Amino acid sequence: MPDIPIVGSYFSTSGPLGIWTPAVAISLNIIAAWIIVALIRAIAYLRAPKYDLFKLPSPANSGLILGHAKALLTRPDYHRLLLECARECGSIFRLRLLHRHVAVIMDPAAAAHVLSVVPGRPHSYGHVDEVLGGRGVHSMFGTSDEVHWRAVRKATAPAFAMANVRRYFRGVLTAAGELLSRLEADMKGQEGGEGEAEAGSDPRVGGAVKVEMEPLLQRMMLRATLEGLLEVPDATRVPGFDTLAPSIVLLMAEANAQITDPLRALWYRTPLAPLCSKHVASCRRALREVTDFHTRTAAAILARPDPAPTNTLLWACLHRLRDWRGGSSAGASGGEGGRLSPQQLHPEVGMYTTAGFDTTASTLGWCLYAVALHPGHQRALLQELRQYGIFPPECVVTAVRKKNKNKNKENNEKKKNNSESCSHGGKAEDPETKRDTEAEAVEEEETEEAAGRAVELELDAGRCPGPEELARLPLLNAFVWEVMRLFPTAGVSAERLSPTQPVRLPSGLTLPPGVSLWTPMYGLHASDLNWQHAEEFRPERWLEDPHCAFARTLPDNNNNTSTSSSTAAAAAAAAPDVSGCAAAAAAAAAGGGGGGAAGGFENTQRGGGAAHAEEGGAARRFMPFGEGPKNCVGQNFGIAVVRAVFALLLRRYYIALHPNMMGELLQGAEGAAEGAAGEGGEEGGCLVSCLATRTAALTQVAVATKLRRLRLVLSRRQE
Q: Mean per-residue pLDDT for 618-640?
A: 92
- Chain centre distance of CA 436: 53
Report the phi/psi class of residue 626: left, alpha or beta, with left for phi > 0 and alpha for psi in -120 to 50.
Answer: left
Q: What is the pLDDT of residue 663?
A: 81
Q: What is the pLDDT of residue 568?
A: 37
Q: What is the pLDDT of residue 410?
A: 52
DSSP states of 163-232: HHHHHHHHHHHHHHHHHHHHHHHHHHHHHTT-S---TTS-SEETTEEEEEHHHHHHHHHHHHIIIIIS--
Q: Mean per-residue pLDDT for 575-593?
A: 45
Percent residues over pLDDT 90 in the chain: 47
How does residue 336 score in pLDDT terms, banded at 50, 70 and 90? Answer: low
On the question of pLDDT at 226 being above 60, the answer is yes
Higher-confidence residue of 423 and 103: namely: 103
What is the maximum span of the chain, computed from C-alpha positions, in angstroms? 122
Report whether 113 contacts 105 (CB < 8 A).
no
Most confident stretch, 4-8, 292-296, 436-440: 292-296
Bridge partners of 504, per DSSP, are 510
How does residue 662 score in pLDDT terms, banded at 50, 70 and 90? Answer: confident
On the question of pLDDT at 392 being above 90, the answer is yes
Higher-confidence residue of 141 and 103: namely: 103
Q: What is the pLDDT of residue 585?
A: 54
| Global confidence as pTM | 0.80
- Chain centre distance of CA 38: 41
Q: What is the pLDDT of residue 1?
A: 44
* Cα gap 294→251, rounded to integer Å: 14
CA angle, residues 595, 596, 597, in degrees to nearest 5? 95
Please write the tens of the pLDDT for every residue from 491-523. 887 888 888 889 999 989 999 998 899 999 999
Most confident stretch, 181-185, 421-425, 454-458, 579-583: 181-185
Q: Mean per-residue pLDDT for 433-440?
A: 48
Q: Please count the other Cβ atoms lying within 10 Å of the Cβ belonging to residue 114.
A: 25
CA-closest candidate to residue 255, choices 224, 290, 225, 292: 290
* Cα gap 269→263, rounded to integer Å: 10
Percent residues over pLDDT 70 in the chain: 73
CA-closest candidate to residue 175, choices 385, 394, 459: 459
DSSP states of 308-341: PTT--SHHHHHHH-B-GGG-TTTTSTT-SSPBPP
Known binding-site positions: 632
CA-closest candidate to residue 551, choices 509, 600, 609: 609
Report whether 691 contacts 373 (CB < 8 A).
yes
Please write the tens of the pLDDT for every residue from 141-200. 888 888 999 999 999 999 999 999 999 999 999 999 999 999 988 888 776 654 444 433
How does residue 553 score in pLDDT terms, banded at 50, 70 and 90? Answer: low
Please write the tens of the pLDDT for every residue from 228-287. 999 999 999 999 999 999 999 999 999 888 887 878 988 999 999 999 999 999 999 999
Known binding-site positions for heme: 632
Q: Which region among 96-100, 298-302, 309-313 has the lowest average model confidence (pLDDT)?
A: 96-100
Question: What's the mean per-residue pLDDT of the chain?
Answer: 79
* Cα gap 384→651, rounded to integer Å: 10
- Chain centre distance of CA 695: 18
Q: How many CA atoms lie within 13 A of 319 on its CB side?
A: 20
Q: What is the pLDDT of residue 57?
A: 95
How does residue 333 score in pLDDT terms, banded at 50, 70 and 90? Answer: very low
